[in-house]
Amino acid sequence: MNYVYLLLGSNLGDSKSFIDKAADLIFKNVGELIKESSFYESPPWGFSHDNSFLNKVLFIKTDFEAKRLLDECQFIEQGLGRVRSNSEEYQAREIDVDILFYNDDIIESEELTVPHPRIKERRFTLLPMCEIAEGFVHPVIKLTLADLLKECKDYSKVVKV
């Protein structure tokens, strides 16, 4: 069994509904929920847009290998209307599902990097992660998520809703 933290986010349309639908599909098709964070609202990170983001972290257990998990998450995104562009720039989106941690594994491939490479830079990820797993130790950095949050240089306003 594999233990995985996923970040779900949306800033287009009914964001809460998109996140709830994605979570339901994850529970139905991917794995069992162990724990979930509250919703958090934050401004877009890395680009400008009028709509705030809504985010939530899920902690699940799954028998999927990492690549299959990635494929299924992208399939769920597509089914909910996400269209990926070839651009490297961040964009507004109906739904985004990021694999933050996959067990304590370190995965570096063209398709997937785990732990997610920008966790320590993103308050909108660290706050919901700390709500459910503040003592989790980042397998590369070797600090707890609570310590990463204390060191985070992102001072964006992230609000629990």
Is the pLDDT at 55 greater than 80, yes or no? yes
Which helix (H) or strand (E) segment holds residue 131: the answer is helix 123-133
Please tell me the distance from the alpha carbon of residue 65 to that of residue 106, in angstroms, as a whole number. Answer: 13
pLDDT score recorded for residue 49: 64
**Model's pTM, two decimal places?**
0.93
On whether residue 58 sits in a domain, the answer given is yes
Q: What is the residue range of 87's domain?
A: 2-118
Is the pLDDT at 13 greater than 80, yes or no? yes
DSSP 9: E
pLDDT band at 127, cuts 50/70/90? very high
pLDDT band at 120, cuts 50/70/90? very high
On whether residue 130 sits in a domain, the answer given is no
Note the pLDDT tens digit of each residue in 64-97: 999 999 999 999 998 987 666 665 666 778 899 9
Please tell me the distance from the alpha carbon of residue 18 to that of residue 25, in angstroms, as a whole number. Answer: 11
How many domains does one find in the chain?
A: 1
pLDDT band at 60, cuts 50/70/90? very high
**CATH number reported for the structural domain that contains residue 70 in this entry:** 3.30.70.560
